[in-house]
Amino acid sequence: MAEKELTIFLILVNVVLLIFIGGILAFVLLYRQRKIQYQRETQLLQQLHQQEIMETQLNIQQQTMRDIGREIHDNVGQKLTLASIYSQSLLHAQALRTTESVSQLIEIAKLIDTSLQDLRQLSKSLVQPELAQTPLNELLQQETSQINQLGRCQVHLTLPLAPIVLDTFVKNNVFRIAQEFIQNSLKHARCQNIWLNVEVQAQILIFEFKEDGKGFDTEAQQAGIGLSNIKRLLNELSAFNDSLTSVLEKGTTLRFLIPYQTSHEI
């Protein structure tokens, strides 16, 4: 009996040892599988993260390129266009040595210098600090004075008595629209006068830009880059009751409204 009991005991011990060893092996195998699965999931997450980063960088690059193109067209392009227009007018002048012609040449030189400065600034930042810090009233006054000094067309500016305080995005878009309207008028309308009228009524800013040029058929003529740019800027502003009307030989008028709080702060 003693030998039989010993045999049974040894068998039980071996069985327990086998179960214990099997459990350890199973645990090790399961641990390795879990580790391999975790590593795969980690690698997959890293790949997805890298892909998202690449897509984000690509979107940022594309948006940056669009912003640069718009900034060049809206700002630097406008100044260079003015320089080109007045340079061409001087080529046809008969008395280039008159005081008026010399004054115009000086203004053209200033425009070109300013454009070069803007290009340098654009390489550092897409948003010009001077636009962010200068009130809309002052920006429009500077632009009006600059055009009037060149002497080809007279710009008449009417502003509210109180300063127009807008956030930077709205202010920049309004100013770009004014610039675009002026440039289109100078390039295509052959106008003698341009009126920029800004009025405040019941928490609404009313903008009316008009000129007395040759006009055009708004339905027959396809929108060029200038008019398309104005429409884009108006959409970004969420302007309402906007309209562009033109009468042949009488000129063109652009009118739009935006909400305005007189207590608004930048």
Q: Where are the domains of the chain?
A: 136-266
The answer on pLDDT for 210 being more than 90 is: yes
Instruction: Taking residues 139-153, report their average pLDDT.
Output: 86
- Token pair of 30, please? 């399961």
- CA triple 79-81-87, angle to 5 deg: 105
Share of the chain above pLDDT 70, in %: 64
**In contact, 146 and 109? CB cutoff 8 Å:** no
At 265 the pLDDT is 42
Listing DSSP states for 98-163 in one string gives SHHHHHHHHHHHHHHHHHHHHHHHHHH-SS-HHHHHS-HHHHHHHHHHHHHHH-SSEEEEE--SS-
Residue 266's pLDDT band, with cuts at 50, 70 and 90, is very low
CATH superfamily of the domain spanning 136-266: Histidine kinase-like ATPase, C-terminal domain (3.30.565.10)
**In contact, 121 and 132? CB cutoff 8 Å:** no
At 228 the pLDDT is 81
